[in-house]
C-alpha cells in the first residue's frame, strides 16, 4: 500500500461484509441454475465488487444510464456472473432474473453483453480491450467536464495482452485521473496458473513505471480494499490509478477453494446446497 490510510468504521465494514456475502450467494444461485460456470471468479472478486458498488460507485438503480453515473467496465466478459451478482445486490437487475441465468433470451447471458443487461457498460469478452475502451471513455468524460469515474475490472490473464499496456501508456499520457483500473490477480487463467503461462511480477512496479498511481492489496480483505479505494478516489494527482487485488478463486466456499482447476467449474447437483451451506457457515449465518 502507498498513500496514507483512512480509518474504516466497523459499521461500514459490517455492511460491506453483508453485501459481499449476498454477492457470493447470488453467484452460487446462478451457478446452480446452469450447474457450471465462472463461479470461482465471482467468489474471488466479491469483496472487490462490494467495496466498488457499495462504497464508491455513483449510480441510480432505477436509471442505469443516468449521465452522472460512474461507469464500471467489465473487461473480462467471462466474469459476467460476478457483475450480475453485484447488479442484483445493487437493485439494478431484479433478483427474479437469477432463475433465467444463461438461458435463451435471458438478460443475463453467460458471457457479458452490453446490449442485454442494464448496468453492463461494455461487451468485454474479447480479452485485452476493456482498458482501451476505458481510456476512450475517460477522455470523453473529461472533455465533457464530467466528474464521473471510470472503473475498469481486468484480470491477470489480460496482462498478457499488449493492448492492455498500450492503453496503460495512453492513460498516463492523457493524465486520466478519472480512470481507476482494478486488476484481479487470482494467479489463474484458462490453461494454467497465470504466473506459469507468462510471468507477471513485479506487477506494481510495471504499472508505476507506466505512470500510474498504484496500490496492491489483499483483494479478499475488506479493510485493505476500502483503504486503497478511498485513497484512489480521493487522490489529487493527475495520474490514472490502479488497485492490484490478490484474490483467491472460490473464496468463501471451502469446497471450491480446494479445487485444482477453477477457471470454469462444474459442480455436482448435490454440491450446490453444500456450497451454499458452507458459505453461510463461513459468514456465521444460521
Ligand X SMILES: Cc1ncc(C[n+]2csc(CCOP(=O)(O)OP(=O)(O)O)c2C)c(N)n1
- What does the binding site for ligand X look like in residue numbers (CB under 6 A)? 41, 76, 78, 125-128, 155-157, 186, 188-190, 194, 263
Return the residue matching grid coordinates 466479491. 46
Quick check: 155 binds Mg ion (CB under 5 A)?
Answer: yes
Of the candidate spans 27-35, 46-54, 144-152, 189-197, the one that interacts with Mg ion by CB under 5 A turns out to be 189-197
Q: Please identify the residue of the shown chain whose CB is closest to the bound ligand X.
A: 157
Smallest gap from residue 216 Cβ to ligand X (A): 17
Question: What pairs with residue 187 in β-bridges?
Answer: none
Of the candidate spans 31-39, 55-63, 96-104, 148-156, the one that interacts with Mg ion by CB under 5 A turns out to be 148-156
* Euclidean distance between CA atoms 129 and 121, whole angstroms: 13
Smallest gap from residue 115 Cβ to ligand X (A): 18
Of the two residues 116 and 200, which places its CB atom closer to Mg ion in the complex? Answer: 200
Of the two residues 157 and 231, which places its CB atom closer to ligand X in the complex? Answer: 157
Concatenating the DSSP letter of every residue in 1-56 gives: --SPPPP--HHHHHHHHHHHHHHHHHHHHHHHHHTEESHHHHHHHHHHHHHIIIII
On the 0-12 / 13-18 / 19+ scale of CB atoms within 10 A, 145 is: exposed
Q: Which does 32 bind (CB under 5 to 8 A by kind): Mg ion, ligand X, none?
A: none
Smallest gap from residue 142 Cβ to Mg ion (A): 30
Cell of residue 173, nine digits: 499520457
b or e along 2-15 (b: 16 or more beta carbons within 10 Å of the residue's beta carbon)? ebeeeebeeebeee
Of the two residues 38 and 210, which places its CB atom closer to ligand X in the complex? Answer: 38
Return the residue matching grid coordinates 464500471. 72
* Euclidean distance between CA atoms 48 and 185, whole angstroms: 12
Of the candidate spans 44-52, 180-188, 197-205, 278-286, the one that interacts with Mg ion by CB under 5 A turns out to be 180-188
Of the two residues 146 and 163, which places its CB atom closer to Mg ion in the complex? Answer: 163
Contact positions vs Mg ion (CB under 5 A): 155-157, 186, 188-189
Amino acid at each position: 500500500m502507498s498513500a496514507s490510510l483512512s480509518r474504516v468504521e466497523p459499521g461500514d465494514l459490517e455492511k460491506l461484509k453483508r453485501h459481499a456475502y449476498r454477492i457470493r450467494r447470488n453467484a452460487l444461485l446462478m451457478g446452480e441454475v446452469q450447474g457450471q460456470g465462472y463461479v470461482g471468479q465471482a467468489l474471488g472478486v466479491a469483496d472487490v465488487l462490494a467495496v466498488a458498488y457499495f462504497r464508491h460507485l455513483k449510480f441510480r438503480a432505477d436509471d442505469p444510464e443516468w449521465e452522472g453515473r460512474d461507469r464500471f467496465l467489465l473487461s473480462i466478459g467471462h466474469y459476467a456472473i460476478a457483475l450480475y451478482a453485484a447488479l442484483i445486490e445493487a437493485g439494478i437487475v431484479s433478483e427474479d432474473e437469477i432463475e433465467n441465468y444463461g438461458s435463451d433470451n435471458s438478460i443475463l447471458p453467460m458471457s457479458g453483453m452490453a446490449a442485454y443487461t442494464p448496468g453492463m457498460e461494455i461487451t468485454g469478452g474479447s480479452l485485452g480491450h476493456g482498458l482501451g475502451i476505458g481510456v476512450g471513455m475517460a477522455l470523453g468524460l473529461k472533455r465533457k467536464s464530467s466528474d464521473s469515474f471510470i472503473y475498469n475490472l481486468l484480470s491477470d490473464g489480460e496482462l498478457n495482452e499488449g493492448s492492455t499496456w498500450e492503453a496503460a501508456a495512453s492513460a498516463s499520457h492523457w493524465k486520466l485521473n478519472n480512470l481507476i483500473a482494478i486488476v484481479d490477480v487470482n494467479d489463474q487463467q484458462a490453461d494454467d496458473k497465470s504466473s506459469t503461462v507468462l510471468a507477471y511480477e513485479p506487477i506494481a512496479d510495471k504499472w508505476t513505471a507506466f505512470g500510474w498511481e498504484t496500490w496492491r492489496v489483499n483483494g479478499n480483505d475488506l479493510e485493505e480494499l476500502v483503504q486503497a479505494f478511498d485513497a484512489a478516489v480521493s487522490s489529487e494527482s493527475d495520474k490514472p490509478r490502479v488497485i492490484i487485488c490478490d484474490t483467491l478463486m472460490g473464496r468463501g466456499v471451502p469446497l471450491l477453494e480446494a479445487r485444482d482447476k477453477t477457471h470454469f467449474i462444474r459442480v455436482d447437483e448435490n454440491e450446490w446446497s453444500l456450497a451454499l451451506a458452507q458459505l453461510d457457515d463461513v459468514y456465521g449465518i444460521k
